[in-house]
Every structure is written in structure tokens, then in C-alpha cells.
Structure 1
Amino acid sequence: MKPDNYPQQPSHIWEHFYQFTQIPRPSKHEQAVRQYVIDQAEALGHRWQCDAVGNLVVYVPATPGMESSGTVIIQNHLDMVTVKTEDKQHDFFRDPLSLAISDGWLHADRSTLGADNGVGCAAALALMTDDSVAHPPLELLFTIDEETGLVGASELDASMLSGERMLNLDTEDWNELYIGCTGGGGWSFTRTFKTELPASNLSYFSLSLKGLAGGHSGIQIHQQLGSAIKLLVDFLQSIEQVQLVHFKAGVAHNVIPREGEVIFACPSSEAEHLPEILDKLIQQWLGYLPAADHGLSAALETADPAAGLSVEDSTLLLDLLAAFPHGAQSYNLEQPADLVDLSINLACVELSEGQLELESSLRFFNAEQAIPLRRSVESLARLAGLQVEPKAGYPGWQPDFGSPLLAKAKALHQRLFGIEPAVKAIHAGLECGILKSKKPDVDILSFGPTIRAAHSPSERLEIATVAPFWQLLTALLAEM
């Protein structure tokens, strides 16, 4: 059900976005939302086409008088990140989102909102369904499975597209125009450890950490948000003769880990000191973590004895996790200091019954700059006896400050809103890099309304930025 104060204008965007929030659309499960788009197209008699993996293009004829203008591609992805707080009962494969509005922001109840990239999808549909909009021929491209590694764009059949100009609507800061994005890659690591039966001189505990902000491992990596993995390791390395039984933290390669739990054993003589150690560390952490992480909470409880790693293997694994790089590695020398050139996210750790799985991802503008980081990560993993499986990477989108599309959008933004927009590149893996590699001659620009805390349960959309975003989009198309 819509909140009583759900926004009304621009009506077509807000209605389509609401429908997107009511249709489950996890990555790899976009069938229902894709059908919604197809139904909208067929109701208006528009042709559409899907490729072999499920990417969809809807072909919208030009409005009268603009038939001779060149075709414009409008590009978005259908899927959303599915993250919720532990206390939220929600099935992302079945349940609609529950929406609320507070202080000018639209958000979901303790889960991701899917404004990334649902609001862009809604704008693309609004261009089709709002007959007051003037535009050239449009190719509305809806890709699938973006959030798990830009899979849809990577497998796109580019022969479905003819446009030589493209607007991507997947960036998240209003009054900013984006002309570049990072490439990326990553790894999964595995190892099987021997386990030992419980010993009588050991005490067993569980520690869970919750309340960190988490967030997008690209556009928020410079904010120095806390990692549940790193904090849990910090605690465990403060205990003598610790033995790991279970370790689980992180949900996806592109999300900064916000929650985690460990089960461990230590000599019974150490047990009485654990609350004091934890309290001291929490105070230390809060002394340097950003305000967004100050909801951190910890629960230390006794646990049942269980087989775990030896002290030696536990030490090895904790040393690996402590030494594993995480966060911004270098910054751009020309752009503002918050533009990261190279970063890495230690995303997921799971240790269960001696089976270890790690996942990490990296982002870069210059692939060659990332080579030393790749080598150091893989060397560290091999030293710890891990099997290394690199994941398929994807290209970046190198900024083009001479873009005609950029020049037109800058001038139009200045004329409409009286301010010059910032021109930026984004430290995130937009599909633009892949699409540019498939269609090298396409001129690309990306912009969108303001979204905060994407990929986290705090994700929210600033309502006041949607109307001007729509105004710029429609005015830009009208002048093409």
C-alpha cells in the first residue's frame, strides 16, 4: 500500500516506481518486473526484443516532428540489491516492499529500497507512457543481473541497439553529470581446514556484531565505514590461544559487510576477561568509526562446544583476514579528494565445519594500476594456503570531457536551474564501461536523482530531486 503522503508529481515516474517496489526483483530473478515493462510496451503497441540472457529493449518511435533526430538509448538495470536488517521479516523473492517517507526521503522498512536502479527504470517507462514528452526515437534498454557483477551488460547482444547517444540513469547525486566509471574484478578463495574435537579445558562463545551502516563498496568506500569482518578479527586477535569454530559475515561482493558472527573457543582462564576486552574495543572503534556506524551493537554469549580449527590454523586465518587489504587504496590526483582511483572490498567470509570461503572485489579506473594490488592479494592468499579463483572482470568507462552530449547537458542544466553541474566520474561499476566496449562510438552521459546508502537497509531516495531530474531528462531529449 502506498504511504498516504506518497509523491504525486511527476506522476508517471512515481507510479512506475511504486509498481517496481511491489514486484520482487532480486538479481537473476527479474522475470516478473521484465514482464511488467513488456506489458506497458504492448499496451501502447511498441515493439520489444529480448536477447538470449533476458536483457530487454523497447523501441519507442519519435514524437511528431522529431523523427529525423538520431536514436537515443536510455539504459537502466532491472534488478536490485536485497539486504535487510536481521529483525525484518521479508522474503525478497515473494514480498512487496513496505514504503515510508520521513524528512523528505522515501525509504523501505528496514530493507533496501531498490531506487538503485528502479527510479531510472521508472523514468525510462515514463518517457514511453507520458504523451506530453517530446523525444527522438528511443531504445529503452533494461539489463538484468547488474548487481552481482554486471552480468546482463556483459552478455548483451548489442545488435539490438542502433543509437549513438546513450543516457544511463543509474548515478545517485543530483546536480552532477557523470562521464566515467570504474572497471572491476574480484576473487573467491577457498580452503579446507582440519577440525579438532572440543577440549575440556576450553570455553565456547559466540559474538555477533550488528548496527554498522554497511553500504555500497564503490561510491561509499571513501567514507571509511566499519567492516564487520575487520572488527571481529580485531576482537579475536585480542584473545590468547583462540580457536575458531564458525565465522560468517558479509552478504555480497559489492556490499561493505555490516553484520557478522563468530563462534570460538578459548582457554577457560581467558573467559572472564572477554567482556572487558570487548567493551574496551567498542570504545576504541567508536572513537574512529564515522557517525553512521555508531549504531554498532555487540552480543557476547556462551556457546555449545563444537569441533573447530587448531590454534595454529586459527591464528593463520586471523592473520590473513587482518592483513587482507580493504578500503580505498589510492585517490585521483586531479579530481576532488573523494574520488577514489583504486579500492578493494573484503566482502564475505564464511567458515563452517572447517570449510572456508572468502570473497573480495576490487575497482579501478586504470586496469594497469590495479595489477600490483591483484598480485599482492593473490600472493597473500597463496601464503595462507588458499585456492584462488579470479572472477571475470569488466572494463571501465574512461572520462571524455569533450563529449557533445556532456556539453549540451551542462548548458541546459545551467539554463534550467541557474547553477553549473559538477562533472564527475564515479567509483562504481556502471554498465556504461561494458556498453562502451560493445559500442565504441556511442556518446554516453549518466545522471540521476539523489540516492543515499544504496545496497544497505538505509537506502533512501530524496524526493525533491526527482522532479528536476525528470525536467532535465525530458528537456535534454527535446533538444536532441
Structure 2
Amino acid sequence: MSDIQRLQPAKLWQWFDQICAIPHPSYHENALAEFIVNWAKSKNLFVERDEVGNVLIRKPATSGMENRPSVALQAHLDMVPQANENTQHNFLTDPIQPRIQGEWVTATGTTLGADNGIGMASALAILDSDDVAHPALEVLLTMTEEAGMEGALGLRANWLQSNVMINTDTEENGEIYIGCAGGENADLSLPIHRQPNKFPHCFHIAIKGLSGGHSGCDIHTERGNAIKLLGVFLTALRCVTEDFAIVNIYGGSVRNAIPREAFITLAIDDATLLTMVVEKFKEVLKQGLPEDPNAEVIVSAQALPDETFDIPTTKTITHLLSALPNGVQAFSQTVKNVVETSLSIGVLRTENDQLKGTILLRSLIEGGTDEVKKELTELLQQSGGNVAYSGYYPGWEPQPDTEILTLTKKLYAEILGHEPEIKVIHAGLECGLLKKIYPNLDVVSIGPTIRNAHSPDEKVHIPAVQTYWTLLTKLLANL
């Protein structure tokens, strides 16, 4: 038990504390799912899991609401596992350690999992409450959203009975989301050719301390991408000398987070030139990344390796990382101040004789990534590598005239004292996939303010959670 259990609304925070106590990163959320299933059975609630592990719980309507149509609440079970380099945390065995910091709840050196743990906790708290009025209720908890929406992709048809759904995966107080971007993975591979080491010096260079964040919601903020910055550094080094070779290179950890850290080990002929380039690169970071005030470059001497990447491979990787498109590609022509199309490289790894990377492409419109996919394919082909596309999921097309949206706007305005904003998010909510399987669903997405999701700086605003809970319970009572 942590201090957050004393916060209000009590049942929501108690459930969130319980969620934090059970490890549930993507692909490892089964223990949490089974805990919830067993709890639901102990409460004599209907509960089932479908073929891909999604959980569906049903609760009868409260007194006087039996004749109203049922409503579904939806959240995902998994969280993004990100930790600071100096934090010793095993996401498969160690609980998340939430703590109160002023008006915020954050974690200790790791992601908090408020995305989407707060939404999940709110749904479970309503199932667990006797004093919240609601019609017949369905709670749908999906598997592996953060790593490719696999639960939503495999959701059982003809399972849900509701035609109205409240998605709980929005991260801004005072906003109602009615649309989102679709996405697709691009998996890059490049062959590595090696040679015996011929250089007298070896150094490990770490780019660290970047802000990172959500590769959709934060892509427009111009935060540094540590992997792309490796390309900037290598290009700068190659401008003064070609007498160096890569020994190892890696960065990032998940496809949907802007990488905060990246690392390269280099064998080099002239250590003085390396030092000069590093110092100039530090100045570039300081001046060019105002959103990353804590960015740093750390250099440490290493023992000489037996072999390195050969010079042509080193040159190819330098060019590839420098030329790789990244960030915002287009803004929407129909929704003001919303990113339409973007991409972000999230993971880079040296695996045996292959350099591998994963990019997440996003777009609000069908075919919006066609041009950048063509550019990626040509770039990899020219570099002697390959790119494979997978895991496509559709966007959620806005519908601005549904009854659930009208009611949500009305109640939110009463709570806030002003009109809420109706928005489309440049991130992947499951709503588009769910509507593909259940086309008659009317959906809105709401949630409390969460900052820096997908990074160890993730935090959720305590007063916003109370506002969200007030809206959610009023919605259920008035549907």
C-alpha cells in the first residue's frame, strides 16, 4: 500500500495502487488480467476472456435504471515500461512505486502507468461501488495496446452488448476526443560487415537526459530524439575525419516513445578530433534543444575491441541515421493545430550481423503515410537494407453529432464552468479498431491530465482525476 490510497476518489486510487502493485508491461499483463477476473468472480459478476485475452465484465443496472440501454467503459491492461538508466527496476517482477509530489502522482524512476491505469482503475472502481448510479454496465479491458493494439485487433465479435462506449485513454482535463490517428510499424534492417580493429583508441559515447515522451502526443514539441541525434553526431565527426569505425550502436526501448537515450561505441584514430567534435556537439544540444535542458553527452574510454564494423558499413549507418525522416511530416488541413502525419524511430539495436530499428508511423487520414513509406523504402534500398511494414491499425474518424458527445459536452461544461474542447488526437486510441468490429458503437474518449506518458517523468494530476471521476459518474447517471 502507498500514500495514494488516501487520495480521493478513494476507490479509484485504491484500485490504481493495486494495479501498480502487479507488473503489467505489454505482453506481460496476464497476471493483472487474472487478478481482475478472480476479483470479478468473487463479486459474482459476469466475466469472460476472449481468444486473445481481453477481459469483459458485466454489472447489472442500479435500481431505477434497468430500462436504459447498456454502456461500455473501455481501457487497456498494459503499460509502457521505461526506466531511467540509473534506476534498478525489473518490470516483470517489481511493482511500480507511486508517490505524491505536490498536486501530482508520479513514480520512482520509472513510467507510472497512469496511461491507461487511471482509466482502468476508474472502471473497476465503478464495478466495485454501490453508490454510483448506472445502466447495465460492460467493462472491456484490452490486451497489449501499447505494443500494437493486439487486443483490439483480435477482439471477439458479437461479444459486446452496448452501442455506447466511453474510452478512458485521453490524457487532458477539459477535452473530449472524438477521433485519433491510425498507425503502422516500419521495421528496418541493415546488414553489418565487420573487420579486424585497426584503430588505437576506443570510446563509448552516451547521449542522455532528453525529455522523451509520447511519440504521438509529444511529436510536435520538437523534443530531441536520441537516435536521430546519433546521426547528427556521426555526421559531424565524419566532416573532420573518416578514420573511425562503429563497434556497437543502440538506443531507445519501445516503439511508441521518443527515445531519451542512445549510445555508440567507436574505434578511432585521433582521440583529439573526437574530443573536439564532442564539445561542439554539446553546444549544439544546448542551443538547439530548448525542450531538453538536461541533455548531456558522456564519453568514456573503452578497451580496444578485436573487431569493428567495416568502414563502408560505418559510412552507410552515418548516412542512414542522418537522412532518416523523423517527426512531423504534415499538419491537418481540416483540424486546426493538429498533426496529420508523423513518424518516430523508437528503437535501434545491433543484433549479430544486423542493425535493426523500429519506426512508428501515424496519420489521421487513410493513405497519409504513403509518401513517407515510399521515402523510407527507397532510403533503405539505397543503403543495402530492408524495411517491412506491419501492425497497421485504422484511425478513428470523427463523428461530431452523436448523443453521447452532446451529453458529455453538456455535463463537462457544468463541471468546468466553461465549454470543453472537442479534439482529435495524434495518437493511437483503440476506438477506430473497436468501431471496425462494432460499427454501430458511438464513442467518446475522456480522461484526466497526464504529462510525459511513456517516459519516467510520467505524472497524473490529482485534481484532474477528481474532475474526471465526477464527469464519468455523472455521465453514467444521465445516459
TM normalised by structure 2 equals 0.96
Confirm whether residue 333 of structure 1 aligns to residue 302 of structure 2.
Answer: no
Contact kept? 1:111, 1:457, Cα under 8 Å: yes
CA shift digits 1:239-277 (9 cap, x unpaired): 21131110000111101111111011222xx31122222
Task: Identify the residue that residue 248 of structure 1 maps to in structure 2.
Answer: 250
* Residue identity (%): 36
Once the two structures are superposed, the pairs formed by residues 41-440 of structure 1 within 5 Å of their partners are 41-199=40-198, 201-239=199-237, 240-241=241-242, 242-267=244-269, 270-291=270-291, 293-306=292-305, 307-337=307-337, 339-440=338-439
Contact kept? 1:363, 1:428, Cα under 8 Å: yes
Q: What 5-or-longer segments of structure 1 have no aligned partner?
A: none
Q: Distance in 2 between matches of 1:342 and 1:286?
A: 28
Q: Distance in 2 between matches of 1:236 and 1:369?
A: 31
> Which region of structure 1 is more displaced relative to structure 2, 208-217 or 165-174?
208-217
Q: Give the aligned length.
A: 474
Q: Distance in 2 between matches of 1:63 and 1:40?
A: 20
Mark the CA change 1:6 to 1:129 in structure 2 (over 3 Å): closer, same or farther: closer
Q: Distance in 1 between matches of 2:191 and 2:281?
A: 30
Q: What 5-or-longer segments of structure 2 have no aligned partner?
A: none
Contact kept? 1:174, 1:450, Cα under 8 Å: yes
Confirm whether residue 29 of structure 1 aligns to residue 28 of structure 2.
Answer: yes
> What is the one-letter code of the residue matched to 1:246?
N
CA RMSD of aligned residues (A): 1.3
Contact kept? 1:49, 1:160, Cα under 8 Å: no
Deviating runs (4+, > 3 A) in structure 1? none
CA shift digits 1:3-45 (9 cap, x unpaired): 3x65431111010001001111011111221122123312221
Contact kept? 1:215, 1:453, Cα under 8 Å: yes
> What is the one-letter code of the residue matched to 1:278?
V
Q: Distance in 2 between matches of 1:256 and 1:148?
A: 14
> Which region of structure 1 is more displaced relative to structure 2, 365-374 or 111-120?
365-374
Contact kept? 1:308, 1:353, Cα under 8 Å: no
> Which region of structure 1 is more displaced relative to structure 2, 351-360 or 57-66?
351-360
Deviation of 1:151 after TM superposition, in Å, equals 0.7
Contact kept? 1:245, 1:351, Cα under 8 Å: no
Task: Identify the residue that residue 460 of structure 1 maps to in structure 2.
Answer: 459
Q: Distance in 1 between matches of 2:10 and 2:371?
A: 50
Contact kept? 1:308, 1:354, Cα under 8 Å: no
SS across alignment from 2:309:
coil
SS across alignment from 2:31:
helix
> What is the one-letter code of the residue matched to 2:345?
L
Q: Distance in 2 between matches of 1:64 and 1:340?
A: 45
SS across alignment from 1:368:
coil
Deviation of 1:188 after TM superposition, in Å, equals 1.0
Q: Distance in 1 between matches of 2:474 and 2:163?
A: 19
Task: Identify the residue that residue 446 of structure 1 maps to in structure 2.
Answer: 445
Q: Distance in 2 between matches of 1:374 and 1:233?
A: 20
TM normalised by structure 1 equals 0.96
